[in-house]
């Protein structure tokens, strides 16, 4: 049976604030949110959507989209949020794959071509239909194993594929993060990560709503505005997710006053976070808590909220959530001993059942006995803390030695003159492959490749030190902050 925490809390705590739309100031108690979801179910039915149909959304975050998602869960429609930053041709390819019956849009993305079978409706028009509808009579609970969401991967290395999520996977991601992140009915989440990403759609909503907490929905990230909200004691924000680049933007923006924040922790993920950066935040009284997850499995690992443990294991992504089993295995599929790098395998009720329209993708993504191959290389220490070393596909071999670019990038960003770095393996006639570093410098730093090379040589084995250093003004990133290394590699082709 599909879980429905809003329905539960509508009876148990009807007057508790559940949802706030920060752009418009609209607010919903649990009772009002339950009624709004019922009205949205009626609107979906009137628009001709039936169980199994896809409702695509190409729009910025809003409470209206969150209500549409919850209505899809109750009605059996499959919610499919798409990245509005994509080019029209990219959106067209995804729309052709998921074949939605209806597309909700807010005008942010233009130029895409809807499939012939799809209607297009402004989010505001859909909201008006919902407000005018009578709440639908609640039918029987949906199967917890049915597809209810399709989330398309960011496509850093190829064509995005649709990851199927179910009420079961959403629920157990909520459980995993709820335990790791100390979520209670008093928790207040600021949800501004994009809802086409697993953090924005799942982790920002399910943990607080499971516990009867509150979600504040923001249309997007603006560093100065976010600083003001985090320092607003009337909002009382306790949980906030960001990628390391967003955290850096908060530091540099107006209104940065972490001493006024009410956060339990600043939760980060989506990319390497150097230990020096984590300890910088700890020195200012903010527990920067790294975690590890993926579209296919939601929250997998998380650091504890204890500052002493965070400092002692800075750079790690923590331990497995209560609904998760993990293995770290060598190239032969054998369990790797602690301290030895291997691929993370995951199993649990939060793991996707597969990919939309791609049965063969599932076969390659899972082991014969049902473990999800993450493609991420990690090391577990004697205390059970896991550190991500790199993506398996990003590793290169130089003179017979494995080189993990993330380790080199960590070393580079410890230099005070380096703002960000990305390292690729490139062909070399002598060593097979060597490192090529793309580096963004801090303003005013006048050093060059020789100084950066000496810095790396003092911290890394010689075979790990990049052979070449390329100074750049920016690094191509996905909407969630991940560096698009495929684009960097393409830039090296003459």
- Per-residue HEC secondary structure of 241-304 comes to EECHHHHHHHHHCCCCCHHHCCCCEEEECCCCCCHHHHHHHHHCCCCEEEEEEECCCEEEEECC
The last residue of one of the domains, among 380, 407, 429, is 380
The count of structural domains within the chain is 2
In a shared domain, residues 415 and 360? no
Do the Cβ atoms of 51 and 37 come closer than 8 Å? no
Is residue 156 a part of any domain in this protein? yes
Is residue 321 a part of any domain in this protein? yes
Q: For 300-352, what is each residue's pLDDT tens digit?
A: 999 999 999 999 999 999 999 999 999 999 989 999 999 999 999 999 999 99
Q: For 238-275, what is each residue's pLDDT tens digit?
A: 999 998 878 989 999 999 999 999 999 999 987 678 88
Q: Residue 237: what pLDDT?
A: 98
Element (H, E) at 224: helix 223-230
Q: Residue 401: what pLDDT?
A: 74
Is residue 386 a part of any domain in this protein? no
Where residue 482 sits, what CATH number does that domain have? 3.30.300.30
Do the Cβ atoms of 180 and 321 come closer than 8 Å? yes
Do the Cβ atoms of 470 and 449 come closer than 8 Å? no
Q: Residue 142: what pLDDT?
A: 86
For the chain, give the number of residues: 494
Is residue 387 a part of any domain in this protein? no
Is a pLDDT exceeding 80 seen at residue 400?
no
Separation in Å, CA 345 to CA 328, 361, 484: 6, 16, 24
Q: Which of 49, 50, 61 is nearest to 22 (CA)?
A: 61
> What is the Cα–Cα distance from 433 to 398, expressed in whole angstroms?
5
Is residue 80 a part of any domain in this protein? yes
b/e map of 56-74 (b: 16 or more CB within 10 Å)? bbbbbbbbbbbbbbbbbbb
> What is the Cα–Cα distance from 169 to 202, expressed in whole angstroms?
10
Q: Which of 90, 83, 157, 97 is nearest to 375 (CA)?
A: 157
Do the Cβ atoms of 411 and 379 come closer than 8 Å? no
The last residue of one of the domains, among 325, 354, 380, is 380
In a shared domain, residues 484 and 426? yes
In this prediction, residues 434-449 reach a mean pLDDT of: 90
Lookup: tokens for 425 = 């393996």
In a shared domain, residues 109 and 203? yes
In a shared domain, residues 341 and 406? no
Higher-confidence position of 209 and 464: 209
Where residue 198 sits, what CATH number does that domain have? 3.40.50.12780
Cα-flanking dihedrals φ and ψ of residue 193, to 5°? Answer: -65, 140
Is residue 391 a part of any domain in this protein? no
The last residue of one of the domains, among 380, 408, 433, is 380
> What is the Cα–Cα distance from 198 to 100, expressed in whole angstroms?
20
> What is the Cα–Cα distance from 204 to 191, expressed in whole angstroms?
5
In a shared domain, residues 416 and 372? no
In a shared domain, residues 177 and 300? yes
Separation in Å, CA 45 to CA 53, 80, 239, 432, 472: 11, 17, 35, 60, 52
Q: pLDDT over 90 for what percent of the chain? A: 74
Write the secondary structure of 354-408 as one string of H (helix), E (strand) and C (coil): CECCCHHHHHHHECCCCCEEEEEEEEECCCCCEEEEEEHHHCEEECCEEECHHHH
In a shared domain, residues 350 and 216? yes
Is residue 393 a part of any domain in this protein? no
Q: For 195-229, what is each residue's pLDDT tens digit?
A: 999 999 999 999 999 999 999 999 999 999 999 99
Is residue 388 a part of any domain in this protein? no
In a shared domain, residues 309 and 410? no
In a shared domain, residues 369 and 416? no
> What is the Cα–Cα distance from 161 to 169, expressed in whole angstroms?
18
Cβ neighbours of residue 456 closer than 8 Å, sequence gap 6 or more: 408, 411, 412, 464, 465, 466
Is a pLDDT exceeding 50 seen at residue 156?
no
In a shared domain, residues 342 and 410? no
Sign of the alpha-carbon dihedral angle for 404, 406, 410, 415: positive
Do the Cβ atoms of 385 and 316 come closer than 8 Å? yes
In a shared domain, residues 98 and 152? yes
Q: Which domain holds residue 340?
A: 5-380
Q: Residue 157: what pLDDT?
A: 45
In a shared domain, residues 363 and 426? no
Q: Which of 191, 223, 184 is nearest to 21 (CA)?
A: 191
């Amino acid at each position: 049976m599909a879980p429905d925490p809003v329905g539960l809390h509508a009876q148990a705590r009807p007057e508790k604030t559940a949802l706030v739309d920060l752009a418009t100031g609209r607010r919903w108690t649990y009772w009002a949110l339950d009624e709004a979801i019922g009205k949205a179910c009626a609107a979906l039915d009137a628009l001709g959507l039936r169980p199994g149909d896809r409702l695509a959304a190409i729009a910025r975050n809003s409470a209206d989209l969150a209500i549409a998602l919850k209505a899809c869960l109750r009605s059996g429609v499959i919610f499919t949020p798409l990245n509005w930053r994509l080019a029209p041709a990219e959106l067209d390819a995804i729309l052709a794959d998921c074949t939605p019956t209806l597309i909700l849009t807010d005008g942010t993305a233009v130029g895409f071509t809807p499939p012939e079978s799809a209607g297009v409706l402004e989010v505001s028009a859909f909201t008006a239909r919902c407000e005018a509808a009578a709440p639908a009579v609640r039918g029987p609970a949906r199967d917890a194993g049915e597809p209810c969401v399709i989330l398309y991967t960011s496509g850093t290395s190829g064509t995005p594929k649709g990851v199927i999520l179910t009420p079961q996977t959403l629920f157990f991601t909520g459980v995993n993060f709820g335990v790791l992140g100390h979520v209670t009915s008093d928790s207040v989440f600021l949800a501004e990560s994009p809802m086409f990403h697993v953090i924005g759609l799942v982790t920002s909503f399910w943990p607080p709503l499971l516990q009867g907490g509150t979600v504040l929905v923001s249309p997007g990230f603006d560093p100065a505005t976010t600083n003001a909200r985090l320092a607003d004691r009337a909002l009382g924000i306790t949980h906030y997710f960001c990628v390391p680049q967003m955290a850096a933007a908060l530091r540099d923006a107006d209104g940065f006053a972490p001493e006024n924040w009410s956060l339990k922790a600043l939760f980060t993920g989506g990319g390497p976070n150097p230990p020096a950066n984590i300890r910088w935040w700890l020195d200012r009284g903010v527990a920067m808590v790294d975690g590890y997850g993926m579209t296919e499995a939601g929250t997998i690992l998380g650091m504890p909220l204890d500052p002493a443990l965070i400092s002692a294991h800075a750079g790690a992504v923590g331990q497995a959530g209560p609904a998760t089993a993990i293995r770290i295995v060598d190239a032969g599929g054998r369990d790797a001993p602690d301290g030895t790098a291997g691929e993370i395998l995951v199993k649990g009720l939060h793991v996707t059942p597969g990919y939309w329209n791609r049965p063969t993708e599932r076969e390659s993504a899972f082991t014969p006995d049902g473990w999800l191959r993450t493609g991420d290389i990690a090391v577990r220490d004697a205390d059970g803390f896991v550190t991500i070393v790199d993506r398996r596909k990003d590793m290169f071999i130089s003179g017979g030695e494995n080189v993990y670019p993330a380790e080199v990038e960590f070393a580079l960003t410890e230099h005070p003159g380096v703002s960000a770095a990305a390292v690729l393996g490139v062909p070399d006639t002598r060593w097979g492959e060597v490192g090529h570093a793309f580096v963004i410098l801090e303003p005013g730093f006048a050093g060059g490749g020789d100084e950066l090379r000496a810095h790396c040589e003092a911290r890394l084995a010689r075979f790990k030190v990049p052979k070449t250093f390329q100074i750049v003004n920016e690094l191509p990133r996905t909407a969630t902050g991940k560096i698009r290394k495929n684009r960097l590699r393409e830039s090296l082709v003459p």
